[in-house]
């Protein structure tokens, strides 16, 4: 009571949460939950709001990824996760594409059912240590050898935060292949409209009744707003103060962390 109604809280039925940088910071040690985020997820679920975890994480299968988060105490299941690899598989099957994979070893099982012989496209994900010169060059050769190169990227992030600092993300390598092959990648995952739309469809909530909460000003906040959603920027994960002067993207609000966003939201319900 007596709390000023924040404009961004009106008529909310569903929340989309980015995972890395909002729920936890990844790292070689498995990563660490961000303070208050485990409890925040529990409170969202108890409130009856619809919830979807929207991740561009492509270093593990959804099963492994979810297992890791459950181990940190998060109430999350594979069925609640919207991720790029399954979406990419649908595209590959619809268009009879056979991928050359430049992805993390741990993601390969997501593509188990897909024909990879004699590839006619390249799928690039956050391959981390697999982004060697040899591997990039091999992907380049597949693309440059095609009359109409097809490059599918599981995201376009520039960097993300791990416990020991910032790490280059898939977008940097996607741009290298785009440049070398004079091709435009098709992005699956955030900020692609289809990605947000499938998350909304899975929740059964229209965009104007949903809020995206993320740490990536361009891919989370900008991407969601372009779909007609409201979007909040958390000051955790890879957030940097310069994000608050972004020339194109203005979040509907800044919050210090997920817990604070949930506090404000649940006071209005």
CA angle 112, 118, 122 (to 5 degrees): 70
- Residue 165 clears pLDDT 60, i.e. is over it: yes
- Residue 245 clears pLDDT 50, i.e. is over it: yes
Q: Which domains does the chain have, with CATH numbers?
A: 13-54+206-267 (3.40.50.1000), 85-187 (3.40.50.1000)
Residues 6+ apart with CB under 8 A from 1: none
- Residue 65 clears pLDDT 70, i.e. is over it: yes
- Structure confidence by residue, pLDDT tens digits, 188-229: 999 999 999 999 999 999 999 999 999 999 999 999 999 999
- Residue 82 clears pLDDT 90, i.e. is over it: yes
Instruction: Report the distance separating Cα 136 and Cα 76, nearest Å.
Output: 34
Residue 201: both structure tokens together: 């469809």
For the chain, give the secondary structure using H, E and C. Answer: CCCCCCHHHCCCCEEEECCECCCEEECCCCCEECCCHHHHHHHHHHHCCEEEEECCCCCCCHHHHHHHHHHCCCCCCHHHEECHHHHHHHHHHHCCCCEEEECCHHHHHHHCCCCCCCCCEEEECCCHHHCCHHHHHHHHHHHHCCCCCCEEECCCCCEEEECCEEEECHHHHHHHHHHHHCCCCEECCCCCHHHHHHHHHHHCCCHHHEEEEECCHHHHHHHHHHCCCEEEEECCCCCCHHHHHCCCCCCCEEECCHHHHHHHHHHHC
Instruction: Report the distance separating Cα 26 and Cα 56, nearest Å.
Output: 13
Rounded to an integer, the average pLDDT of 76-84 is 97
- Structure confidence by residue, pLDDT tens digits, 114-125: 999 999 999 999
- Residue 231 clears pLDDT 80, i.e. is over it: yes
> According to the model, what pLDDT value does residue 3 have?
54
User: How buried is residue 167: exposed, middle or buried, by Cβ count under 10 Å (0-12/13-18/19+)?
Assistant: middle
> According to the model, what pLDDT value does residue 216 have?
97
- Residue 1 clears pLDDT 80, i.e. is over it: no
**168 closest CA partner among 177, 178, 156:** 156
Residues 6+ apart with CB under 8 A from 112: none
Instruction: Report the distance separating Cα 19 and Cα 26, nearest Å.
Output: 10
Rounded to an integer, the average pLDDT of 51-58 is 97
- Residue 6 clears pLDDT 90, i.e. is over it: no
- Residue 2 clears pLDDT 60, i.e. is over it: no
Q: CB neighbours (10 Å) of residue 159?
A: 14
- Residue 269 clears pLDDT 90, i.e. is over it: no
Cα distances (Å, whole numbers) of residue 140 to 32, 220, 258: 36, 29, 40
CA atoms within 13 A on the CB side of 258: 28
> According to the model, what pLDDT value does residue 187 have?
98
Lowest-pLDDT range of 13-17, 27-31, 147-151: 27-31
């Amino acid at each position: 009571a007596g709390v000023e109604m924040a404009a961004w809280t009106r008529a909310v039925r569903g929340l989309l949460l980015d995972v890395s940088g909002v729920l936890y910071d990844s790292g070689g040690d498995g990563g660490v939950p961000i303070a208050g985020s485990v409890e925040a997820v529990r409170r969202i679920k108890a409130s009856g709001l619809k919830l979807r975890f929207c991740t561009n994480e492509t270093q593990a299968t959804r099963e492994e990824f979810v297992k890791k988060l459950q181990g940190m105490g998060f109430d999350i299941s594979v069925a609640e996760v919207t991720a790029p690899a399954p979406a990419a598989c649908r595209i590959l099957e619809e268009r009879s594409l056979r991928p050359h994979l430049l992805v993390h070893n741990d993601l390969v099982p997501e593509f188990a059912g897909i024909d990879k012989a004699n590839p006619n496209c390249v799928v690039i994900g956050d391959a981390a240590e697999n982004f060697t010169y040899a591997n990039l060059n091999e992907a380049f050769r597949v693309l440059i050898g095609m009359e109409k190169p097809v490059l599918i990227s599981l995201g376009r992030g520039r960097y993300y935060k791990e416990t020991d600092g910032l790490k280059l993300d898939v977008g940097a390598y996607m741009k290298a292949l785009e440049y070398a092959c004079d091709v435009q990648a098709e992005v699956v995952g955030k900020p692609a409209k289809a990605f947000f739309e499938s998350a909304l469809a899975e929740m059964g909530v229209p965009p104007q009744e949903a809020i995206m909460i993320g740490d990536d000003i361009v891919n989370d906040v900008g991407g969601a707003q372009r779909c007609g959603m409201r979007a909040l920027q958390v000051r955790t994960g890879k957030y940097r103060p310069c994000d608050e002067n972004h020339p194109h993207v203005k979040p509907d609000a800044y919050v210090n962390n997920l817990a604070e966003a949930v506090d404000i939201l649940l006071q209005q319900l």
